[in-house]
Structure 1
Amino acid sequence: MKKSLLLIILCFSWGWLYGQEEQNANKDSVIFTEDNLILPEGGVQEIVTETPRNRPNKVALYSAILPGLGQFYNKKGWKIPIIYGGATFLVFGAVNSNTQYQFFRDALFLEVDGNPDTINDTGLNESQIRRRVDFYRRNRDYFIILTGALYLLNILDAHVDAHLREFDINENLAFSVKPAMVQNPWNISNVGLSLQLKVKP
């Protein structure tokens, strides 16, 4: 008795689930036919893209040997002044901070050596000099770290740019992203994005 009752419930459940699946498929599925496909007059044409392969590892090595050389090889020469301008600023900041650090460090040695004949020329007391020593040492270290980060970023930029050159798109292809209204199965409109790939004749 229990087995037959369970069998009847399963049969009804199966039919109900199959009906729901078929109904959802009719609502959500898009069926492409010859009537709703828009093709160009000449039919579908093959678009061949010829992309130069720059060997990203070789380009990264170029930028490691001489910063900016990888960008030049990638034909992105406009990045070279940015790299060298940033490097000049950071190296100048590191050198200037190191000079100030050494000056105040020497003044601190004169202040704490216990010899009354040696007087520092800064006119500052010991705590003020210590603060400046710490400040310029920290600045020098920051500038050195940022210079190293710029060097690594130069290599990474050349490597990634060489990879991206392999994905150049033919001029006959156009890709666009536009806002769109999407209607869900419950007839509620939602705002979304539409990605469109157009083939120019």
Structure 2
Amino acid sequence: MRLKLIIIFILCFAVNLFAQTDKQQLTNASVIDTTVKVKADTTIVAKDSVAKHDSLVKKKHDPSKATFRSAVLPGWGQAYNKQYWKIPVVYAALGITAGTFVYNNKWYQRTKEAYDIVVNNRTEDFASIDSKLFDKQTGQPFSAETLQFYRNDFRRNRDYSVLYFLIAWGLNVVDATVFGHLKDFDVSDDLTMRINPTFDATTKKPGLGVAFNLKTNAHRALPVF
């Protein structure tokens, strides 16, 4: 009887020992899995926060870039501001002034040469004078006074065309700069000015009041890294 009790006690002790060992192994495995999962989730959240932060940085519009690009190449700043319809306008203004310069400079050179020939009475060089600078009635070149007037007029128009070209270029830079600053300006319906009717209960007289509704930017939460 005593031997049976000893055997039963030994068996119970062994079963209990194995059960505690299995429980300890399960606990360790659970801790490892939980730790790995938490680390993985933390890494994913950090990556998402970095991606959101990068997307916000990339979307920021820099007016100085629009200014620099328009100064280097007309229309480039308008393209940066995504106002593509202005590019043909810019090049039309520059093209007209450049064409005016070429035209006036060409006729300035012709009238200058014709004036020199007539003043110095170089009749052998009359053939080199442009046909439009001849008097159709006499068949002779215009007088020196007339050629001098045309020469000075074409020279003045040529100089003005250079000035207009530079002004057009400068306006292209100014336009890109101004609209670069206004690119992120709030022009939504939240910016309003309304005239509302009022009524003074004390004097019992109606009146008009001006109401301003200015939009306030909500505080943006910083990304969590």
Fold shared, TM-score > 0.5 on shorter chain: yes
- Runs of 4+ off more than 6 Å: none
Establish whether residue 139 from structure 1 lines up as the match of residue 146 from structure 2. Answer: no
- Aligned in 2, Cα 1:172/1:92: closer, same or farther, shift over 3 Å? closer
The residue that corresponds to 2:212 in the other structure is: 196
State whether structure 2 residue 71 is matched by structure 1 residue 55.
no
Amino acid at match of 1:148: L
* 1:174 CA displacement: 3.9
Q: 1:132 to 1:176 in 2, by over 3 A?
A: same
- 5 Å matches for 1:178-197? 194=210, 196-197=212-213
Whole-Å separation in 2 of the counterparts to 1:178 and 1:134:
59
Of 53, 76, 99, the match for 2:83 = 76
Determine if the alignment matches structure 1 residue 175 to structure 2 residue 192.
Answer: yes
**Shift in Å at residue 193 of structure 1?**
9.2
Root-mean-square deviation (Å): 3.2
Residue 80 of structure 1: CA displacement? 0.6
Q: Is the 8 A contact 2:117 2:125 kept in 1?
A: yes
1:196 Cα deviation after fit: 3.4
- Tell me, yes or no, if structure 1 residue 67 matches structure 2 residue 83: no
The CA distance in 2 between the partners of 1:93 and 1:163, in whole Å, is: 33
Q: Residue type of the partner of 2:148?
A: R
Indicate conservation of the 8 Å contact 1:53/1:165, yes or no. Answer: no
CA contact (8 A) 2:117 2:123 kept: no
Provide TM-score, normalisation by structure 2. 0.54
Structure 1 residues 78 and 132: CA distance shift in structure 2, 3 A: same
> In the alignment, what sits opposite 1:101?
108
TM-score (norm 1): 0.60
Structure whose CA Rg is larger: 2
Separation in structure 2 between the aligned mates of residue 179 and residue 128 of structure 1, nearest angstrom = 69
Number of residue pairs matched by the alignment: 142
Label 1:105 to 1:179 Cα distance change in 2 as closer, same or farther (>3 A).
farther
Cα distance change on mapping 1:179 and 1:126 into 2, 3 Å: farther
Q: CA deviation at 1:66?
A: 1.2
Higher helix proportion (structure 1 or 2): 2
- Letter of the 1:108 counterpart: Y
Deviation at 1:64, TM superposition (A): 1.4
Match of 1:158 among 176, 190, 205: 176
Give deviations 1:24-65, integer Å, cap 9, x for gaps: xxxxxxxxxxxxxxxxxxxxxxxxxx9953211111111112
Preserved contact between residue 173 and residue 198 of structure 1 (Cα < 8 Å): yes
- 1:129/1:76 Cα in 2 relative to 1: closer, same or farther (>3 Å)? same
The question of whether the paired residues in 2 share the 8 Å contact of 1:111 and 1:118 is answered with no
Gaps (5+ residues) in structure 1?
1-49, 182-189
> 1:179–1:132: structure 2 CA closer, same or farther, 3 Å change rule?
farther
- The separation in 1 between residues aligned to 2:71 and 2:161, in whole angstroms, is 19
**Who is 1:23 aligned against?**
none
* Matched-pair contact (CA < 8 Å) for 1:176–1:196: yes
